[in-house]
Structure 1
Amino acid sequence: MRIDLTGRVFAVTGAAQGIGVAIVAGLAGAGATVAAMDIDAEGMKRLNAATSRHAADLGSRAEAARAITDVARAHGRIDGLVCAAGGVCGQSGQPLEAVEPADWQAIFAANVDAAMWCAQAAAPHLKARGQGRIITISSGAGLRPSLTGIQAYTAAKHALVGLTKQLAQELGPAGITVNSIAPGLVLSNPATERQWAAYTPERQQQILAGTHMRRLGTAQDIAHAALFLASEQAGWITGQILSVDGGRA
C-alpha cells in the first residue's frame, strides 16, 4: 500500500519535538504540504525549510483560531489536522493532596483545550471541502491509569478520547473522519526520557515484560499510524482509538 498525500495540506500541532516532528516528516514524505504549529517557535526552526511554521499558544481559543487562519491563508486550504500537542508540561507524579490548580489546568490546556480549539477553527475549512481528517494523539493513559502517576494527565487524555469520539459523530456527515492514536511508552522527548530514566532497572524490565513486542516505541511508530489515518485508505474509519503500544499484557 502506497500512501500519496500530494496536494493535501495538513496542520500539525506540537510540531516542535518528538512525535509531532516525526508526523511532520511522515506527511511531507508522502507528498503533503505541512504547516507546523507550536508554542515553541525556536524548536520549530529545526523543521524542514519547506514546512511553514505558525507559533501560537494553542491552549488559547483566540491563538488557535489565529494560527489556523494563518495556515489557510498561507496555503489556500486545509485538508487535515493532527493534534499532537500535549504532554506532562514538565510535571511529575505527586500525591493527590499536593496537586495545585495551576498544574491541573496547564495539562488540560495543552492536551485538551488545544485540540478542541484547533478542531473548532479547522472544521469550517474541512467542511468547505466536503472531506477531511482530524487525528488526535491521546495516550494509553487515556484508556487506563498512567505510568506517569499524574492525575491531570490521565484525566486529560481520557477527555481527549471522549472529545475524539464526539467530534467523529458530529463531523462524520460532513465527510470528516476523526480518530485518535493512543501511544504506549515512547521515548520521543526529554520528558519521556526522564520518566524512563527515573524507573529502577527492575521497573524498566517489568514494563518491557508487559509489552508483547518487548521494546519501547519510537516517534516513527506513531507517525506511521498517523500517516495511515490521514490517507484515502482510512476513509471509512472514524471514531476509533488506535493503540500503538507494542501490545500491552
Structure 2
Amino acid sequence: MERFAGQVAVVTGAGSGIGRELARGCAAEGAQVHLVDVNESVREVADELGGVAHVCDVSDPGAVRAVFGGLESVDAAFLNAGVNGVPSMLQDGGALDELPFEAWRRVLTVNLDGLFCCLQESARIMKRQQRGSIVVTASTAGLRPEPRVSYPYVASKHAVVGLVKQASLELAGYGVRVNAIAPGPVVTNIGGTAPRPEAAVAAWENSIPARRWGQPSEVTDLALLLADARSAWMTGGVHLVDGGASALTQVLSSELPGARR
C-alpha cells in the first residue's frame, strides 16, 4: 500500500538534490506533491512527477503565503530549501575578518528567514486541521563546528536546529510533529554547480568513516519515515544521516588557520 496515498505534501528546494529526491519519493508513495523552488527547473521535475510547481523565493513571506494559501490541507511539509556557496575559514575569503556581510546575509536570509516563513505557513494549516508532519533539512553543521563549512551556513543550521525543537513544543498539542534530518556531506549543488577540486573532495571523504559522500536518496528515506505514521511518537528530534561523519573530528588542530607548526 502507498504510504501517502490521498495525502498532500509540500517540498521546498524541490528543483534539485535532496528536495528533488524527496518529491520523487512522495509521488512514488501516492502523495499529491507541491514542489517549491526559486529556479524554473522545478517545473520540469513537477511535470515528471505529475505534481504542481511553484516558482517561489522562500525568503519572501508574501510569496510563501501565496503558495500555502492556495492549499486546503497539508499532511507533510518537507522544508528543505537552502544555500551556501560561501568559502569556509580554510578557503580564501572565508575567514571571519574577510567574509563580506552580503554573503553572510544571503545565506541567513534563505536558510533561516526562508525556513521560518515556510514553517509558519505550515503551522497555520496544520494547527487548524489538527494533524501533520514537518520535516526540516538541517545539517551536521548545525550540531558542531565544521571548519570546512562557511560561517553563515554553520550559524544558520545551528539556528534551524533550535527553531525545530522550539516549534515541536508548541505544535505537539495540536497533533503536529516537527523533526529535522541532519545530513553530512551529500552530493548536491548547494555549494554551486562548478566541479569541486579533487583535493577538497578527498579531504571531505577523509572526514567520513564510510569513506564516501552520501547520495540524496540515502537521506530522503529517513525524511520520508519521519512523515510516515510509523514515526508517530517522534517529534522534536534531529536525526543524523552522515556516514558517521559527526562521530569523527573534521580537521586536526594543525590544519586550522594560524596554527603553530
Instruction: Report what 1:34 is aligned to.
Output: 33
Superposition pairs for residues 15-164 of structure 1, below 5 Å? Answer: 15-47=14-46, 48-70=48-70, 72=71, 76-88=72-84, 90-93=85-88, 94-164=94-164
Q: Which amino acid in structure 2 is aligned with residue 10 of structure 1?
A: A
Q: In structure 2, do the counterparts of structure 1 residues 201 and 141 end up closer, same or farther at CA, with 3 Å as the change threshold?
A: closer
Superposed CA offset, 1:62-119 (max 9, x none): 121112113x0xxx3211211110020x322211111222211110111111111111
Contact 1:78 1:122 in 2 (8 A): yes
Deviates more, 1:54-63 or 1:223-232: 54-63
185-194 vs 170-179, which deviates more?
185-194
Q: Structure 1 pair 204/115, CA: closer, same or farther in 2 (3 Å)?
A: closer
Partner SS for 2:74: coil
In the alignment, structure 1 segments of 5+ residues that lack a partner are none
CA distance in 2, matches of 1:163, 1:195: 33
Between the aligned partners of 1:191 and 1:166, the Cα distance in structure 2 is 28
Output the CA distance in 2 between the equivalents of 1:3 and 1:182: 26
What displacement does 1:172 show? 0.6
Q: Distance in 1 between matches of 2:152 and 2:227?
A: 29
Figure out how many residues of one structure are paired with residues of the other and give that number. Answer: 240
Rounded Cα–Cα distance in structure 1 between residues aligned with 2:16 and 2:139:
17
Distance 1:202 1:245, change over 3 A: closer
Q: 1:152 to 1:198 in 2, by over 3 A?
A: farther
Match of 2:234 in 1: 237
Q: 2: distance between equivalents of 1:198 and 1:44? A: 33
The DSSP-based 3-state class of the residue aligned with 1:223 is helix
TM-score, normalised with respect to structure 1: 0.89
CA distance, structure 1, for counterparts of residue 218 and residue 148 of structure 2: 21
Coordinate RMSD, CA, aligned: 2.0
Q: Can you give the 5+ residue segments of structure 2 that lack an aligned partner in the other structure?
A: 89-93, 249-261
Aligned 8 A contact 1:12 1:35 in 2: yes
CA distance in 1, matches of 2:81, 2:96: 25
Q: 2:4, 2:30 within 8 Å by CA — same for their partners in 1?
A: yes
Change in CA separation of 1:200 and 1:35 when aligned onto 2, cut-off 3 Å: closer
> Structure 1 residues 137, 55: closer, same or farther in 2, change over 3 A?
same
The structure with more radius of gyration: 2
Three-state SS of the structure 1 residue aligned to 2:153 is helix
Q: 1 or 2, which has the higher helix percentage? A: 1
Is the contact between residue 3 and residue 231 of structure 1 (CA under 8 Å) also seen in structure 2? no
TM-score, normalising length from structure 2? 0.86
Who is 2:214 aligned against? 217
Task: Say if 1:83 and 1:115, in contact at 8 Å, map to a contact too.
Answer: yes
